Amino acid sequence: MQSYELRYGVNPNQKPARVVAESGDLPFEVLSGSPGYINLLDAFNAWMLVCELRTSLGLPAATSFKHVSPAGAAVGTPLSPELARAYFVDDMELTPQAAAYARARGADAMSSFGDCAALSDICDVATAKLLKREVSDVVVAPDYEPEALEILRAKKGGKYVVLRMDPSYQPPTLDRRTVFGVAFEQPRNDCLLADNLFANIVTQDKELPESARRDLLVATITLKYTQSNSVCYAYDGQVIGNGAGQQSRVHCTRLAGDKADLWWLRQHPRTLDMQFRAGLPRAEKNNAVDRFLLPELSGAEEAAWRSAFDQVPARFTREERRAWLDSKSGVAISSDAFFPFRDNIDRAASSGVKYVLEAGGSLRDDEVIAAADEYGMVMGFTGVRLFHH
């Protein structure tokens, strides 16, 4: 198969549309549904991300993509009981691949609504059962267990897009795209992200435990496939906040940090003990939790939030929020380019960041290093910029 006809392009008025292999066959097979233009953009980027995580860390990996950026990504480490409750998966038996997707999906559940899921390993039954009950549009994997494939083919009345990717496929070394009638060409960004990233630790504290190396790799590999500018927070083998596509670096840091704060607050005992109204769909539970955790709401948002519960929980005060967040530490943060000002470090510190990776090369590197030292952080300069457009 050298081409595949699409329903339309990025928007419904852009048709006819198709994807074409420049040489040989297309690297994917459609097992169910009918993928669109954005579906395939998400699928290809997501597939590259999970393959790189798998290669780098040697664990099953998953990501949840929306609009060509990952809402979350993770490797398949076991979930704590609190995290399983926060993700609404405490009623399921999770294999490593299923755990990776539960983590990737749970990093930012609102952004993952209607996602493209990518799996590094064969999709097993446990992962298929998890996908079945989530609002998801696409899944891509190297293959599927027979029972798992049947579960997914039945989702959305057979319209759920199931893609099988050829794991042996290697894309050409030259990337090519056309914009405004002009063709752009560049070498594919095949830089290897591994332990070489940690060769230049620039802070006074240079101790980098294995868990921090893992989390920094998760964050950095995620950034490689995130629309720039981007900053990513990671903890416990997964993304906990990804700030994509902002024009200002500190806005990336704030956006991702706010998401990381919500991730921590979802695991607060008061949040975990919420009593939802009977029959409330999973997506509405996630929406209600997010509204509950926001510091300020409009009147309409407040009413919508309260209607989700049998017993309305007491909102967190500013002091309660800060006390809970101040008890958290050991978070990793990575940036797809250098931090130009120390304000990024100041914001990261308020979300429990201990470990930092950035490209280095700013005129104010000394100020940024000094800020990291003030907070007792470990920071490395990679010398590698990871813009993705």
- Choosing from 67, 129, 156, 251, the catalytic residue is 67
Between β-strands 353-358 and 331-335, what pairing exists: parallel, antiparallel or unpaired? parallel
For residue 238, the cross-strand partners are: 74, 235
Say whether 200 is catalytic: no
Which residue's structure tokens are 């797809």?
A: 336
Residue 72 main-chain phi, psi, to 5 deg: -160, 160
Catalytic residue among 45, 66, 287, 388: 66
Give the residue from 344, 361, 355 showing the smallest Cα distance to 380.
355
C-alpha closest to that of 266 among 133, 123, 105: 105
389 is catalytic: yes
Q: Is 224 annotated as catalytic?
A: no
Catalytic annotation, pick one of 39, 45, 229, 344: 229
Query: 151-159 long-range CB contacts below 8 Å, 24 or more apart?
Result: 151/125, 152/32, 152/123, 152/128, 153/31, 153/32, 155/131, 156/33, 158/32, 158/33, 159/32, 159/33, 159/34
Q: How far apart are the first and last CA of the chain?
A: 27
Q: What is the dihedral of CA 90, 95, 97, 103, to 10 degrees?
A: 20
132: annotated active-site residue: no
Q: Which are the catalytic amino acids?
A: 66-67, 229, 389
